[in-house]
Copies of this chain bind each other. A is one copy, B any other.
Amino acid sequence: MSQIWVRPERVQQNPLFTDDYQAILSNDEIDTVVEVLGGLDPAYDLIKAALEHNKNVVTANKAVVARHLTEFTTLAREHHVKFYFESSVGGGIPWIINLERALRIDQIDSIHGIFNGTSNFILDEMTETGAPFDVVLAEAQRRGYAEAVPSADLDGDDIENKLCISASIAYDTEIKPNDNLLKFGIRNVTAADVSFFKKHHWVVKLIGRSFLQDNRYNFVIEPTLYASGKIEAGVHQNYNYVGLRGTTIGKLSFNGQGAGELPTAHALIQDLLDLELHMEHLNRAFQQPLELGNDSKLLDYIIRSEQDVAALLPDYEVTKEEADYWIVKQISASAAHKLIQQLSKTEKPLLAAISQQRS
């Protein structure tokens, strides 16, 4: 039998509806709870209670998974049930299952890509049409791609959740959203910025990237410039493009619908089918002791600022381009983000890494 937990005022609308979650928990005919509320409260309590009542849980809720992956996984193991969350990252893209399958054989040392369709739609539209940020954001909201309060998409919080989940699985460690993870969103990107990038044959994308080196993991979310003609530059509209790099499989990436009703439902049903068919997902403990470090790779960055970036970064090779655009050579992500936080106190600056991707 099935029941659907809803707000009290909706109970009358459908015989499957109930507002009595305790009744669901104590119903032995219900062996699986599908959580699609979003947000932490009350999702956290509902998932925890379901697992404690020996029910499998399938969820699409990236915020709660990113923060409680270890706890829920441990709880599921103790209660001999499953905790599956394919739809929490990449929407319809079979990302979690393929990451887990690759890990049956390979070590994965890098997770990277376009994890958020809304910000990709906004940057792509700005690039294609030259329109300003606010106009394109309004269009994204009109199409239902962006929420009325779109901060999770614009500021990288949504990507942070997805990259935490992916990297935790990849490195078998626990990475939760926190203030030490480097994150700079697209809120400050202007039509003039896009036009400047275009003139230099760059396309700007909001990228999440993480890689493992010497027991330290890098974790950065930032606008990134790809030479037009690179594959990331060809990811249009609200598509996602997410990838991994493994020992024997090499670089493997997935391009697809990262959100939307049908693709998300598809991923939820894949989890339910795996439960039904007893196809067990990879078992991880998330116990690998790893430290965060964002200094191990040097990149060139573009920084737009009204201030004298060369004077602020005396130890780096800094050249001024037209207007307020500065190129900073070979700087670590942590040093670049430290500067941009300082600049942000008095203006709305921009930072964008220049990708050195070869293929």
**Chain A: residues with CB nearer than 8 A to chain B?**
92-94, 97-98, 101-102, 104-106, 203, 228-237, 239, 243, 246-257, 260, 262-263, 265-266, 269-270, 273, 277, 279-280, 358-359
Contacts and interface: CB of A to CB of B under 8 A. Distances in A.
30 contacts: A92-B248, A92-B250, A94-B98, A94-B252, A203-B229, A228-B229, A230-B236, A231-B234, A231-B235, A231-B255, A232-B234, A236-B358, A246-B266, A248-B262, A248-B266, A249-B257, A249-B262, A249-B263, A249-B266, A250-B260, A250-B262, A251-B256, A251-B257, A252-B254, A252-B255, A252-B257, A253-B255, A253-B256, A254-B254, A254-B255
A249 B253 contact: no
Given A236-B231, A236-B359, A254-B254, A105 B273 contact: yes
Given A253-B255, A255-B255, A270-B104, A248 B263 contact: yes
Q: How many copies of this chain?
A: 2
Interface majority SS (helix, strand, loop, mixed), chain A: mixed
Contacts of A106: 266
Given A253-B255, A254-B254, 15 more contacts: A92-B249, A93-B252, A94-B101, A94-B252, A97-B101, A98-B98, A104-B273, A228-B229, A229-B234, A243-B255, A246-B266, A249-B257, A250-B263, A253-B254, A279-B279
A257 to B, nearest CB: 4
B234 A248 contact: no
A126 to B, nearest CB: 14
Contact of A231 (B231, B257, B265, B270): B231
B256 A249 contact: yes
Given A92-B250, A94-B101, A237 B269 contact: no
Contacts of A228: 228-229
A224 to B, nearest CB: 15
A83 to B, nearest CB: 19
B229 A233 contact: yes
Nearest to A269: B105
A229 B124 CA distance: 11
Contacts of A252: 92-94, 254-257
Contacts of A257: 249-252
Given A94-B101, A231-B231, A270-B101, A359 B237 contact: yes
